[in-house]
Amino acid sequence: MFKRDKLGNVSYPISTLNTDRAAVDDSASNVPPPAQGTTRADSRPETLGQGEEAREAFLRMMRNWYTEYTRANPNAQPPPPPPIPQPAPVVPQVVEEFRASKDDDPERAEFWLENTIRVFDELSCMSEECLKCAVSLLRDSAYRWWNTPVSVVLRERVSWELFQEEFRKKYISQGVYRP
């Protein structure tokens, strides 16, 4: 005679409904009819999956609860909107240019190289990018110095690792500035 769905709702075939009883039930109802052009809050598409049905049932229950609450508490304030997440400030990484001079000390050169490596690591730079960026930071005689190894080494061998090796030889290991 009637069917019960997964949520426990009962449906009757139209032929078994007593239309006189339905009219009495409708007239005794305290629920206002839906406004023209709107749908009932508990209406839903016919083809919902089990998870979607549970979600719809939960949302319907929450809407009903909220409607009852606002009727019982007409002076109640609506809940505040959720906070808008603020992006975390990005701290710029600073890499200094490197200028070689007679007054340079090996610790300054080592500090420059280690700081540069740390920044490149934090930025997840590839080896090719590290090499290009490091060379772009060389100034004056340091830039001219790098052109020498590049001119005598095969192009395939020029790499970030080669740069670090040659830089350490020139400015850190020797401990002496050699123009």
Q: What is the mean pLDDT of residues 96-124?
A: 86
Give 113-143 pLDDT, tens digit per residue. Answer: 999 999 999 889 999 999 999 999 998 888 9
Whether pLDDT at 13 is above 70: no
Q: Which residues have a Cβ under 8 Å from the Cβ of 70 and sit 6 or more positions away?
A: 76
Residue 39 has a pLDDT of 53
Q: In angstroms, rounded to a whole number, what is the distance separating the alpha carbons of residues 179 and 157?
A: 24
Q: Which residues have a Cβ under 8 Å from the Cβ of 56 and sit 6 or more positions away?
A: 44, 48
Give 62-88 pLDDT, tens digit per residue. Answer: 889 888 888 888 887 777 888 888 776
- DSSP element (H, E) containing 150: helix 141-152
* Phi, psi (degrees; rounded to nearest 5) at 144: -65, -40
Residue 117 has a pLDDT of 93
Q: In angstroms, rounded to a whole number, what is the distance separating the alpha carbons of residues 42 and 56?
A: 8
